[in-house]
Amino acid sequence: MSDAQADYADSVVAAWSAVLPDAEASSVGFVVRMHQAMIAMEEFDRRSIGALDLTAPEYMVLAVLATRPDEPGLTLRELRPLVMYSSGGMTHCVDRLARKELVERRPNPEDGRSVLVRLTEAGRRCARTAMRARIDALDGLLEPIAGADRDVVDRALRILASTLGGR
C-alpha cells in the first residue's frame, strides 16, 4: 500500500473522529484499508493472470477443477460458491472457457438436467501454468509480510470472513 493510501485511511479516521469525538473510529480506517487492499488485489489479479488471456473468474474455475482431478467434473451449481461468482456470471465464464477449449461440458449421469464441467488436456496445462504464475506472483506480493505477521493477518482475515459468513 502506498503512503497516499495509508494517509487517506488515516484522514478518513480523523474526519470521522472530528464528527463523532466520543466514538472510536479506528474500525473505519481498518475497513478503508481493507477496501483499498481489495481494489488493489483485483488489479493485481488482472495483471498476474492477464498475460495468460484469462479473467480472474476463468482462472478460478480452472484452478478449482485442477485441484479436483479425481472428480468427473463439477456442475455449475457446485462451481459457483467455490469460485464466488454469480449464477449468470458463471455460465458466461464457462462459455468463454469452452470457446477457448479449456473446459468441456458432459452430461451429468446423476442428473440429466445438468452438465458436468471438466478440464480438457489444454485446460489442465493452462491451469498448471496459471497456478504456478499465481503462486510466484503471490510470493512476491506477500514477501514483505513474513512469519508471525503473516500468521496474525491470516488469523484476522479468517475471523472476519467467518463473521461475515464467508467460506
What is the spatial distance between Cα 126 and Cα 144, in angstroms, rounded to a whole number? 29
Buried b / exposed e along 46-82 (16+ C-beta atoms within 10 A) = eebbeeeebebbbbbbbbbbbeeeeeebbbbebbbeb
Does the pLDDT at position 134 exceed 80? yes
Q: Which three cell numbers stand for residue 146?
A: 513474513
Give the pTM. Answer: 0.77
CA 153 to chain CA centroid, Å, is: 17
CA 2 to chain CA centroid, Å, is: 22
What is the spatial distance between Cα 166 and Cα 69, in angstroms, rounded to a whole number? 25
Confidence of residue 5 (pLDDT cuts 50, 70, 90): low
Q: Compute the Cα dihedral for 143, 84, 68, 98 and give only its sign.
A: negative
Quote the Cα angle for 4-39-143, to 5°: 75
Residue 33 identity (one-letter amino acid):
R
Q: Per CATH, is 39-166 categorized as 1.10.10.10?
A: yes
Domain boundaries defined on the chain: 39-166
Arithmetic mean of pLDDT, 154-160: 92
Does the pLDDT at position 36 exceed 80? yes
Radius of gyration in angstroms for the set of CA atoms belonging to the chain, rounded to a whole number: 20
Confidence of residue 56 (pLDDT cuts 50, 70, 90): confident
What is the spatial distance between Cα 41 and Cα 141, in angstroms, rounded to a whole number? 10
